[in-house]
Amino acid sequence: MSESQRELMKGNHAMCLGAIRSGARAYYGYPITPQNEATEYMSFHMPKAGGSFIQAESEIAAINMVFGAAAAGVRAMTSSSSPGISLKQEGISYIAMAELPCVIANVVRCGPGLGNIAPHQGDYFQATRGGGHGDYRTITLAPASVQEMAQLTYKAFDLADEYRNPSLILSDGVIGQMMEPVDLATIPAKDAPKKDWAVGLGQDKRERNVHTTIYLEPEDMAQMHLKLIDKYDRIRREVQYYEEFRTEDADILIVSYGNSSRVARTAIRHLREEGKVKAGMLRTISLWPYPYRILNEIASNYKAILVLEMNWGQMVEDVRLAIGDKTPIHFAGKHGGLLFTPAEIEEFVCAIDKDPNNPKTAWTPIR
Amino acid sequence: MSDVKTIAEPVQEKLVFDRPKSLTKRGFTYCPGCGHGVIHRLVAELIDEFGVQDRAIGMASVGCSVFSYWFFDCDFISCAHGRAPATATGVKRAHPDAFVFSYQGDGDLASIGMAEIMHAANRGEQITVIFVNNAIYGMTGGQMAPTTLENMVTTTSPLGRDPILAGGPIRMVEILANLDGVAFAARGSSSSPRNILKAKAYMKKAFRSQIEKKGFGIVEILSNCNTNWRKTPQEANKFIDEEMVKAFPLGVYKDVFADKSKK
């Protein structure tokens, strides 16, 4: 790797730079806060990179433009925020079924409904369970810094092409809006791979390419399903990204992602400095596939596990799926678009350390 | 699939009429007497005449023509309902030298896809839209369409379309002709050989609009749905000529190629 080239950037800008440097040459978007910096950035930088930019008439049109560009073999992207991502779900379902690669970024705001423009993590289920109609999945990566906005978007295009499947960036209003240094050396500009399955010119020299999602005969559809199931299984085995922080000697394990994990990190450091509790964290980077394997392996090393999410409890279900009853699970949520503070996380951790079954935060699906 | 019908090779000694090169050998699956077969043929003939088969990319819509990629022998995308103009936009921007067309019905283009068609036209996307208007949702079994005539009986307007409650037939080419991005907009009919030839002449200009980079081109073609209209094909074509054309006047609504000095 060459020398580091650090530049101070906004999260949404870093995400777009990561896309362009990975060879993305099509971006279609629609205004929605808190992701407007992405559309604005692309309106200038995408044409400059020789790609196409359109401010679409709707989120629905934007994702269907991405459908066309992806089918035409171009690395294509759209971004939005929660209500806009809901509108894109129809198109994402088609793109997944047509097995086309693209990247969709969700700079999550608070819902349901119009909600507000404050950061939230309420779109976890939508992102990790497919989101639209039918049984499909999107590779979902959750950046926790501006650096990762650039790097994971860059990576998301590679994964999308490798598996011919849409990739999702699940960010939030804080990560999208804040400024941090990005090491540009980690995202060297490259050309997108050529795709022999794309629609395009020169059809007289090859078989024609058709992208469809309709298989009226159940027997034909079943064959398609088996193919997709096999692919998703392969992705599940091969893509499980996470970061372990101070887990080696910890008594309490925090599981978190994105913006919440940043506050958790501060709390863990403080708790250790004060000599109060030895806490550690598993920060999940891929949310689908979820890093079940590592969580299952390490769960019994801890007195209890505390899941932190800025929602009503979504990822906590994946933690439970990973570890069953091995270790007591706790959940602390944050609502309305408010952020965690280190002090309140420390309080939760201390109470759980004292009583690993502390009923105030204990979480179980069995009611 | 085993029940796929293909067209036999012609056996005449002197070939006087053949299938266009841009149609596959697969037999059409449309109802007997339906206009889709004729309109498919016109599109394919023009792809051949302009010599763009090696770079033609079609957008199939949702409706009876959802499987049009079975019949056109070129690259194709089967699009989401109403979204073909948006998907076509993504393709055309990626391959500006391709010949990109969408083939859409009235429910697809004038109801659920209203936003996509209006904005693709307004941006002046260099694409060609073939819009088949049979005043009904054919594939789903004959429900009211945005283009259903006043008082016309459908399965969701069992007492006839009431314009006070359900509005009247929407005239898309007239609306689209008002947009600056549109180079050519016309309405033809598939009801008779004479009208079919005229429709082809319109379609030729919509092809030229794209190939000569003049802008967005659309041809609406009045077609019959004899099955859901509960008519014989002959009665259905007569209905187009006698009733449909009153709500949907045939003619050219915008033409960048027209000689303005003649006006």
Say which CATH number the domain at A138 has. 3.40.50.970
Whether the CB of B74 is below 8 Å from some CB of chain A: the reply is yes
Dihedral over Cα of A168, A172, A176, A182: its sign = negative
Domain match, A198 and A256 both: no
Q: Which two three-digit tokens encode residue B247?
A: 């709500």
Residue B125 domain flag: yes
For the record, the structure tokens of A261 come out as 């994990």
Note whether A148 and A164 are same-domain residues. yes
User: Is B30 contained in some domain?
Assistant: no
- Chain A residues whose C-beta is within 8 A of a chain B C-beta are 25-26, 28, 52, 54, 56-58, 60-62, 64-74, 76, 90-91, 94, 98, 199-205, 208-214, 217, 220
Residue B99 in contact with partner chain A when CB distance is under 8 A = no
Looking at residue B15, its pLDDT comes to 83
Q: Is a pLDDT exceeding 70 seen at residue A1?
A: no
User: What pLDDT shows up at residue B1?
Assistant: 46
Query: Does the pLDDT value for residue A366 go beyond 70?
Result: yes
Which of B55, B73, B80 lies nearest to residue A64, judging by beta carbons?
B80
- DSSP reduced 3-state for A238: helix
Residues A221 and A328 in one domain: no
Question: How far B102 CA lies from chain A's nearest CA (Å)?
Answer: 12
Which residues in chain B are contacts of A217 at CB distance < 8 A? 1
Tracing tokens 């022999």 back to the chain, one arrives at A196
Cβ–Cβ < 8 Å for B183, B215: yes
Strands A139-141 and A286-288: antiparallel
pLDDT tier, A302 (very low <50, low <70, confident <90, very high otherwise):
very high
Please list the residues that pair with B104 across neighbouring strands.
B131
Contacts with A281 (C-beta within 8 Å, 6 or more apart), sequence order: A244, A245, A246, A247, A253, A254, A255, A256, A261, A264, A265, A268
Which residues partner with A80 through β-bridges? Answer: A106
Mean pLDDT of A151-161: 98
Instruction: Among A1-10, A204-213, A311-320, B147-156, name the one with the lowest average pLDDT.
Output: A1-10
Residue of B nearest to A93 (CA): B80
- Indicate if A15 and A86 belong to the same structural domain: yes
Evaluate if residue A252 carries a pLDDT over 60.
Answer: yes
Burial class (CB in 10 A: 0-12, 13-18, 19+), B74: buried
Tell me the Cα Rg of chain A: 21
Is residue A314 situated within a structural domain?
A: yes
Residue A213 lies in a domain: yes
Q: Which residue among A204, A238, A272 closes a domain?
A: A238
User: Of A181, A206, A238, at which residue does a domain stop?
Assistant: A238
Q: What is the DSSP letter of A308?
A: E
The answer to whether A94 contacts B80, with C-beta atoms less than 8 Å apart, is: yes
* Pairwise CB contact (< 8 Å): A212 & B53: no
Q: State the count of interchain CB pairs (< 8 A) between A and B.
A: 135
Query: Last residue of some domain: A238, A270, A300?
Result: A238
- Report CA-CA distances (Å) from A334 to A243, A339, A351, B88: 22, 7, 18, 43
On whether residue B190 sits in a domain, the answer given is yes
Q: In Å, what is the CA distance from B154 to each residue of B116, B144, B229?
A: 26, 5, 8
| pTM of structure | 0.96
Say how far apart CA B18 and CA B222 lie, in whole Å: 25
For B90, the closest of A68, A202, A205 (CB atoms) is: A68
The answer to whether A99 and A90 are in contact (CB under 8 A) is no
How is residue A130 annotated by DSSP?
-
Sheet holding A304-309, edge to edge: A242-245, A279-284, A252-256, A304-309, A329-333
Closest CA to B29 of B75, B80, B63: B63
CATH number of the domain that B172 lies in? 3.40.50.970
Which residue bears the tokens 């801890």?
A302
- Measured at the CA of A311, the angle between CA A305 and CA A314, to 5 degrees, comes to 60
Question: Would the CB atoms of B90 and A199 count as touching at under 8 Å?
Answer: no
Residues A226 and A257 in one domain: no
Three-class SS state of A288: strand
Q: How many domains does chain B have?
A: 1
Is there a domain that residue B99 lies in?
yes
Asked whether the beta carbons of A307 and A329 are under 8 A apart, the reply is yes
Residue B27, in any domain of the structure: no
Instruction: List the structure tokens of B131.
Output: 């819009």
Select the residue from B67, B70, B76, B83 to test the A interface by mutation, using most A Cβ atoms within 10 A.
Answer: B83
Residue A167: helix, strand or coil by DSSP?
Answer: strand
Are B182 and B254 in contact by the 8 Å Cβ rule? The answer is yes
pLDDT at res. B9 = 72
Domain annotation covers residue B198: yes
Same domain as A218, residue A148 = yes
Cis previous bond, A166, omega within 30: no
The pLDDT of residue A229 is above 60: yes
A365 in a structural domain: no
Whether A235 contacts A96, CB under 8 Å: no
* Distance in angstroms (rounded) separating the CA atoms of residues A307 and A321: 13
Residue A209 to residue B75, Cβ atoms within 8 A: yes
* A56 part of a folded domain: yes
Cα–Cα distance for residue pair A49/B175, rounded to 1 Å = 36
A154 shares a domain with A61:
yes
- Domain enclosing residue B220, as ranges: 36-256
Residue A366 falls within a domain, yes or no? no
Domain membership of residue B19 (yes or no) is: no
| Class of residue B164 by CB neighbours under 10 A (exposed 0-12, middle 13-18, buried 19+) | exposed
pLDDT band for A2, please (50, 70, 90 cuts). Answer: low
Longest Cα–Cα distance in chain B:
60
Q: Are residues A228 and A256 in the same domain?
A: no
Give the count of domains, chain A: 2
Judge whether A254 lies within some domain: yes
Q: Are residues A219 and A259 in the same domain?
A: no
Report pLDDT digits (tens) over A54-78.
999 999 999 999 999 999 999 999 9
Task: Please check whether residue A290 is in contact with residue A239, taking contact to mean a CB–CB distance below 8 angstroms.
Answer: no
Interface of B with A in 109-148 (CB under 8 A): 115-116, 118-119, 123
Distance, CA of A104 to CA of A59 (rounded, Å): 11
| Two structure tokens written together for B175 | 């609306």
Q: What is the 3-state secondary structure (H, E, C) of chain B?
A: CCCCCECCCCCCCCCCCCCCCCECCECCCCCCCCCHHHHHHHHHHHHHHHCCHHHEEEEECCCHHHHHHHCECCEEEECCCCCHHHHHHHHHHHCCCCEEEEEEEHHHHHHHCHHHHHHHHHCCCCCEEEEEECCEECCCCCEECCCCCCCCCECCECCCCCHHHHCCCCCHHHHHHCCCCEEEEEEEECCCHHHHHHHHHHHHHHHHHHHCCCCEEEEEEECCCHHHHCCCHHHHHHHHHHHHHHHCCCEEEEECCCCHHHC
Q: Does the residue A1 lie in any domain? A: no
Interface test with B, best of A57, A58, A59, A90 (most B CBs within 10 A): A57
C-alpha–C-alpha distance, residues A313 and A361, integer Å: 11
Side-chain half-sphere CA neighbours of B94 within 13 A: 31
- Number of neighbours of residue B241 by Cβ within 10 angstroms: 14
Q: Residue A321 is part of which domain span?
A: 242-354
Q: How far apart are the CA of A64 and the nearest CA of chain B, in angstroms? A: 5
A304 and A222 housed in the same domain: no
For each of chain B's 263 residues, which pLDDT tens digit applies?
456 778 777 676 788 888 999 999 999 999 999 999 999 999 999 999 999 999 999 999 999 999 999 999 999 999 999 999 999 999 999 999 999 999 999 999 999 999 999 999 999 999 999 999 999 999 999 999 999 999 999 999 999 999 999 999 999 999 999 999 999 999 999 999 999 999 999 999 999 999 999 999 999 999 999 999 999 999 999 999 999 999 999 999 999 999 776 55
Beta-carbon contacts of residue B2 (< 8 Å; ≥ 6 apart): none
A246 and A234 within one domain:
no
Please check whether residue B31 lies inside any domain of the structure: no
A65, B59 contact by CB (below 8 A): no
The closest of A247, A280, A277, A285 to A265, measured between CA atoms, is A280
If you measure CA to CA, which chain A residue comes closest to B24? A208
Rg (CA), chain B: 18
Same domain for A30 and A165? yes
**Chain A closest CA to B33's CA: distance in Å?**
24
CA distances from B168 to A34, B131, B164, B248 (A): 41, 18, 8, 11
With beta carbons under 8 A apart, name residues in chain A contacting B83: 60-61, 64, 67, 91
Q: Is B74 left (phi over 0), alpha (psi -120 to 50) or beta?
A: beta
